[in-house]
């Protein structure tokens, strides 16, 4: 599947590093990627997400987020 297809499925989301929760920011710093200001997530199934860096049309996987804990989102209507 390519990035265009992920975008069409609304499964692909850009996240600014400064919006990440404290625990995820600490992990980001341990990766030594202070030169990058954003990363991308995409939905796999259920709560599962992959977090990636994007270089043109290439995704480089950083994290497997099995329980959607890297950047949790409040449920609608909560």
Cβ–Cβ under 8 Å, residues 58 and 44: no
Q: Would the pLDDT of 68 be above 80?
A: yes
Q: Is residue 71 part of a domain?
A: no
> Which of 18, 8, 26 minimizes the C-alpha distance to 63?
26
Domain membership of residue 28 as a residue range: 3-65
Q: How many domains does the chain have?
A: 1
Q: Is residue 76 part of a domain?
A: no
Q: Which residue has the higher pLDDT, 30 or 6?
A: 30
Q: Is residue 60 part of a domain?
A: yes
> Which of 10, 17, 3, 8 minimizes the C-alpha distance to 58?
3
Q: Is residue 9 part of a domain?
A: yes
Q: Is residue 7 part of a domain?
A: yes
- Taking the model in full, what pTM does it have? 0.71
pLDDT (tens digit per residue) in 24-64? 888 888 888 878 889 888 888 888 888 888 888 788 888 88
């Amino acid at each position: 599947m390519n990035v265009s297809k992920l975008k069409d499925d609304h499964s692909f989301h850009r996240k600014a590093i400064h919006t990440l929760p404290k625990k995820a920011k600490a992990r980001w710093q341990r990766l030594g990627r202070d030169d990058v200001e954003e990363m991308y997530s995409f939905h796999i199934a259920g709560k599962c997400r992959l977090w990636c860096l994007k270089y043109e049309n290439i995704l480089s996987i950083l994290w497997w987020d099995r329980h959607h804990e890297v950047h949790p989102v409040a449920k609608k209507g909560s």
